[in-house]
Structure 1
């Protein structure tokens, strides 16, 4: 969680995380499966938020393994511990408050480290964060970072979606003037510069189509709210009117109500090995 967030921000994030999870979870599960985390291994979920991914990470490592979730927000960790307790996994998943840029762990503590929508995605210089993840992983262990990388949510309206994605909200967390090498899709270079071996990348796609379940409909509505908040000042009057017509649930032309609705999105994962 970024420094400086207020309690209302946290409440909003928690709500959005829960509502959007049915859309995101299958993609995140596929990415975790691709890593082939060893059974019985011990790993770190850096920037764990409310713990939803820690539950997924605990599955492949099994009862003999352990996942430690770390987040800067004690408020998030309250939710995370509650979620894990209700799942009956408190002995296999633990949480600790801490800063990803200064991990409160000794060198070579974990067999692997994972960070989704955090390391490399937050507007902080990424290379030191990747190095910090590598520091706490044992030689031969793996480091993986994952982040949202693209979407097509407004089928049939590519110009409007392109304009929305060119707004400050649409390109967030990146900002104008940021060096190209600091963009998340340049992460292979960070892994090489951090001394990680066998750097690799892979993209995972998720989709949704009509007829939408109630859960997926709610998740997509939440996604519209998260992707393009406060865009009115950066759009023409015509584009703003079209955005309201298509993207507001109360509109009679709300795009999710279209009988042929289809959307997809991608997460991209970068991973590498700590030198032995």
Structure 2
């Protein structure tokens, strides 16, 4: 079986400087089918027409977008290429709601996993919506399934804040192949934005965050802050791929991610420590971290 690579997206936000007033924002429309995301239907087939909608919310009079775009990772490679960017048009029913319809059957690559976000230009600012996941497109075969592929931290984080996934936030990995699988994690070095990952849990570098992971069996109901990096920084995700083995990405001496048998599952738990200090740009703007999940059959 060939190696599979899937990009898991994790969102986090930071407050590291004084508040900045924003004259507008993008958010879900709240319409039926769009209460919690920007696409309807949430699940379909290769010939399904998916509708994408986002609402522009002005915070002061006279602010209106020059353009609104949809960025969607159609082939599931964790990147948003120029052919994966689509112009939106105002809805005929509400000029502040922007929309487009896409038939994804001729556009999707090898993976059914997709992520998307919206971006707008208004009042001399370009801002993005939160990252969302979907739609799910049936009709693909894959050697594994990842459920819950996003960690959206709603609250803004103060410097040196540690945030650990709760049970309803954890990510489920299901081995649907005929071979045992192992997991490696990394953060691409070219991830956009001012913030970057470091491998030392004690780092106080400017703009540097620490993202850690543990992989457990699916029966584990919760993990604690102290379950991470029990031997130093072994659970920290860096720009170099790190494979789960022994205490790496494990609690105690072993990680479920080192060998997941066929038909069985594992739980991925994440922990974020926000930067100790920041250079000031992108204050109060939501940042996302791309975590690459590399899956391989065990030897």
Q: Identify whether the pair has TM-score above 0.5, normalized to the shorter chain.
A: no
Structure with a larger share of its residues in helix:
1
TM-score by length of 1: 0.26
Using CA pairs below 8 Å that are at least 6 residues apart, which structure has the higher relative contact order? 2
Structure with a larger share of its residues in strand:
2
